[in-house]
Amino acid sequence: MLVDPFIPATPRAQGAVRPPQALKPRRPARTLDGVPSPRPAPAFVHPRAPASRKPATPPAPAQPQRRPHQAAVKPRPAPKKQSRKRKVLGILGQIAFVSAAMALGFLVQSVIIGQAVVLIYGICAVIFRVASRITFLLALLSLGVVVISSVRSQTALASTFAVYVFLLLGVGTLTLARELRNEI
Protein backbone atom coordinates (compact mmCIF):
# COMPACT_ATOMS: atom_id res chain seq x y z
CA MET A 1 0.00 0.00 0.00
CA LEU A 2 1.32 3.40 -0.99
CA VAL A 3 1.40 6.09 1.65
CA ASP A 4 0.99 9.71 0.62
CA PRO A 5 3.39 11.93 2.62
CA PHE A 6 0.86 14.81 2.57
CA ILE A 7 -1.97 12.89 4.26
CA PRO A 8 -1.55 12.43 8.04
CA ALA A 9 -1.23 8.85 9.19
CA THR A 10 -4.50 8.36 11.05
CA PRO A 11 -6.54 5.17 11.10
CA ARG A 12 -9.23 6.84 8.98
CA ALA A 13 -6.70 8.09 6.42
CA GLN A 14 -5.32 4.59 6.14
CA GLY A 15 -8.74 3.22 5.21
CA ALA A 16 -10.12 2.15 8.59
CA VAL A 17 -13.90 2.18 8.95
CA ARG A 18 -15.66 3.71 11.95
CA PRO A 19 -17.48 1.38 14.25
CA PRO A 20 -21.30 1.54 13.88
CA GLN A 21 -21.89 3.01 17.36
CA ALA A 22 -19.89 6.10 16.39
CA LEU A 23 -22.55 6.97 13.80
CA LYS A 24 -25.40 7.09 16.35
CA PRO A 25 -26.44 10.51 17.71
CA ARG A 26 -25.12 11.26 21.16
CA ARG A 27 -27.54 11.48 24.06
CA PRO A 28 -27.24 14.46 26.40
CA ALA A 29 -25.29 13.76 29.54
CA ARG A 30 -27.52 12.94 32.51
CA THR A 31 -27.00 13.81 36.14
CA LEU A 32 -27.43 11.34 38.99
CA ASP A 33 -31.14 12.37 39.25
CA GLY A 34 -31.76 11.23 35.67
CA VAL A 35 -32.48 14.75 34.52
CA PRO A 36 -30.51 15.93 31.46
CA SER A 37 -27.84 18.43 32.38
CA PRO A 38 -28.31 21.95 31.05
CA ARG A 39 -26.18 23.00 28.14
CA PRO A 40 -23.13 25.01 29.05
CA ALA A 41 -23.26 28.73 28.27
CA PRO A 42 -21.30 29.85 25.22
CA ALA A 43 -17.77 30.94 26.00
CA PHE A 44 -18.13 34.39 24.39
CA VAL A 45 -21.22 36.53 23.97
CA HIS A 46 -21.09 39.47 21.55
CA PRO A 47 -21.93 42.71 23.29
CA ARG A 48 -24.86 44.62 21.86
CA ALA A 49 -24.33 48.02 20.35
CA PRO A 50 -25.39 50.84 22.65
CA ALA A 51 -28.78 52.29 21.76
CA SER A 52 -28.50 55.64 20.02
CA ARG A 53 -30.74 58.51 20.95
CA LYS A 54 -31.34 59.53 17.34
CA PRO A 55 -34.82 58.86 15.99
CA ALA A 56 -34.97 55.88 13.71
CA THR A 57 -35.04 56.82 10.03
CA PRO A 58 -36.97 54.70 7.61
CA PRO A 59 -34.77 52.52 5.42
CA ALA A 60 -34.02 53.77 1.93
CA PRO A 61 -36.14 52.19 -0.78
CA ALA A 62 -34.45 49.16 -2.22
CA GLN A 63 -33.11 49.73 -5.71
CA PRO A 64 -32.77 46.78 -8.01
CA GLN A 65 -29.22 45.60 -8.35
CA ARG A 66 -27.80 46.31 -11.77
CA ARG A 67 -25.73 43.62 -13.36
CA PRO A 68 -22.29 44.76 -14.47
CA HIS A 69 -22.99 44.03 -18.15
CA GLN A 70 -26.22 46.09 -18.19
CA ALA A 71 -26.06 49.76 -18.94
CA ALA A 72 -28.18 52.21 -17.00
CA VAL A 73 -31.32 52.91 -19.02
CA LYS A 74 -33.15 56.15 -18.66
CA PRO A 75 -36.93 55.89 -18.75
CA ARG A 76 -38.47 57.17 -21.94
CA PRO A 77 -40.79 60.13 -21.70
CA ALA A 78 -44.44 59.37 -22.33
CA PRO A 79 -45.37 59.96 -25.98
CA LYS A 80 -47.46 63.00 -26.70
CA LYS A 81 -51.06 62.14 -27.41
CA GLN A 82 -52.50 63.36 -30.67
CA SER A 83 -56.00 64.62 -30.88
CA ARG A 84 -58.56 62.22 -32.30
CA LYS A 85 -59.31 64.57 -35.18
CA ARG A 86 -55.65 64.70 -36.19
CA LYS A 87 -55.34 60.90 -36.10
CA VAL A 88 -58.41 60.44 -38.28
CA LEU A 89 -57.19 63.05 -40.77
CA GLY A 90 -53.78 61.35 -40.94
CA ILE A 91 -55.29 57.93 -41.57
CA LEU A 92 -57.68 59.31 -44.18
CA GLY A 93 -54.81 61.13 -45.90
CA GLN A 94 -52.78 57.93 -46.09
CA ILE A 95 -55.69 55.97 -47.45
CA ALA A 96 -56.37 58.73 -50.00
CA PHE A 97 -52.72 58.67 -51.06
CA VAL A 98 -52.71 54.92 -51.68
CA SER A 99 -56.16 55.06 -53.30
CA ALA A 100 -54.84 57.70 -55.70
CA ALA A 101 -51.92 55.39 -56.43
CA MET A 102 -54.33 52.55 -57.11
CA ALA A 103 -56.41 54.78 -59.37
CA LEU A 104 -53.24 55.67 -61.19
CA GLY A 105 -52.58 51.95 -61.53
CA PHE A 106 -56.11 51.47 -62.93
CA LEU A 107 -55.61 54.21 -65.48
CA VAL A 108 -52.13 53.33 -66.64
CA GLN A 109 -52.14 49.53 -66.10
CA SER A 110 -48.38 49.68 -65.79
CA VAL A 111 -46.77 47.56 -63.11
CA ILE A 112 -43.63 49.71 -63.06
CA ILE A 113 -45.54 52.92 -62.23
CA GLY A 114 -47.51 51.11 -59.52
CA GLN A 115 -44.33 49.67 -58.05
CA ALA A 116 -42.78 53.14 -57.99
CA VAL A 117 -45.83 54.50 -56.16
CA VAL A 118 -45.70 51.68 -53.59
CA LEU A 119 -41.95 52.28 -53.19
CA ILE A 120 -42.59 55.99 -52.56
CA TYR A 121 -45.28 55.03 -50.04
CA GLY A 122 -42.83 52.64 -48.33
CA ILE A 123 -40.20 55.35 -47.99
CA CYS A 124 -42.80 57.79 -46.62
CA ALA A 125 -44.11 55.12 -44.24
CA VAL A 126 -40.67 54.55 -42.76
CA ILE A 127 -39.77 58.25 -42.57
CA PHE A 128 -43.09 59.47 -41.15
CA ARG A 129 -43.53 56.38 -38.92
CA VAL A 130 -46.81 55.22 -40.38
CA ALA A 131 -48.41 52.49 -38.27
CA SER A 132 -47.90 49.07 -39.78
CA ARG A 133 -51.59 48.23 -39.40
CA ILE A 134 -52.39 50.93 -41.99
CA THR A 135 -50.05 49.31 -44.51
CA PHE A 136 -51.49 45.87 -43.82
CA LEU A 137 -55.00 47.31 -44.24
CA LEU A 138 -53.99 48.70 -47.64
CA ALA A 139 -52.58 45.30 -48.61
CA LEU A 140 -55.90 43.73 -47.59
CA LEU A 141 -57.81 46.23 -49.74
CA SER A 142 -55.53 45.46 -52.67
CA LEU A 143 -56.14 41.76 -52.12
CA GLY A 144 -59.87 42.48 -52.31
CA VAL A 145 -59.28 44.14 -55.69
CA VAL A 146 -57.42 40.99 -56.80
CA VAL A 147 -60.40 38.82 -55.87
CA ILE A 148 -62.94 41.11 -57.55
CA SER A 149 -60.91 41.42 -60.75
CA SER A 150 -60.38 37.64 -60.83
CA VAL A 151 -64.13 37.08 -60.59
CA ARG A 152 -64.66 39.53 -63.48
CA SER A 153 -62.00 37.73 -65.57
CA GLN A 154 -59.64 40.69 -65.62
CA THR A 155 -56.44 38.74 -65.18
CA ALA A 156 -54.07 41.59 -66.09
CA LEU A 157 -55.55 43.81 -63.36
CA ALA A 158 -55.54 40.90 -60.88
CA SER A 159 -51.87 40.16 -61.51
CA THR A 160 -50.96 43.87 -61.22
CA PHE A 161 -52.71 44.20 -57.85
CA ALA A 162 -51.23 40.89 -56.69
CA VAL A 163 -47.82 42.53 -57.12
CA TYR A 164 -49.06 45.54 -55.12
CA VAL A 165 -50.27 43.23 -52.35
CA PHE A 166 -46.87 41.58 -52.18
CA LEU A 167 -45.03 44.90 -52.06
CA LEU A 168 -47.40 46.36 -49.44
CA LEU A 169 -46.93 43.29 -47.26
CA GLY A 170 -43.17 43.80 -47.53
CA VAL A 171 -43.51 47.48 -46.53
CA GLY A 172 -45.83 46.49 -43.67
CA THR A 173 -43.29 43.98 -42.41
CA LEU A 174 -40.55 46.62 -42.45
CA THR A 175 -42.69 49.13 -40.55
CA LEU A 176 -43.73 46.44 -38.05
CA ALA A 177 -40.06 45.56 -37.46
CA ARG A 178 -39.34 49.25 -36.84
CA GLU A 179 -42.21 49.45 -34.34
CA LEU A 180 -41.02 46.36 -32.49
CA ARG A 181 -37.44 47.61 -32.39
CA ASN A 182 -38.62 50.88 -30.84
CA GLU A 183 -40.57 48.99 -28.15
CA ILE A 184 -37.58 46.96 -27.04
Residue 66 lies in a domain: no
Residue 31 lies in a domain: no
Residue 32 lies in a domain: no
Residue 172 banded pLDDT, cuts 50, 70, 90? very high
Q: Which one, of 127, 128, 122, lies nearest residue 169 by Cα?
A: 122
Residue 113 lies in a domain: yes
| Lowest mean per-residue pLDDT among 29-43, 97-111, 138-152, 156-170 | 29-43
Q: Which one, of 140, 133, 184, lies nearest residue 166 by Cα?
A: 140
Domain that holds residue 156: 84-183
36 three-state secondary structure? strand
Structure confidence at residue 157 (pLDDT): 84
CB-CB neighbours of 90 under 10 Å:
15
Domain count, the chain: 1
Structure confidence at residue 137 (pLDDT): 92
Residue 117 lies in a domain: yes
Structure confidence at residue 84 (pLDDT): 79
Residue 107 lies in a domain: yes
101 pLDDT higher than 60: yes
From CA 169, how far away is CA 95, in angstroms rounded? 15
Structure confidence at residue 91 (pLDDT): 86
Residue 15 lies in a domain: no
The 8-class DSSP code of residue 5 comes to T
Structure confidence at residue 146 (pLDDT): 92
From CA 183, how far away is CA 144, in angstroms rounded? 32
Q: Is 57 left (phi over 0), alpha (psi -120 to 50) or beta?
A: beta
Residue 8 lies in a domain: no
Structure confidence at residue 168 (pLDDT): 94
Mean local confidence (pLDDT), 143-155: 92
Task: Kindly state the percentage of the chain with pLDDT values over 70.
Answer: 54
Which pLDDT tens digit goes with each residue over 19-46? Answer: 555 555 555 555 666 666 666 555 555 5
Amino acid at 15: G
Structure confidence at residue 6 (pLDDT): 61
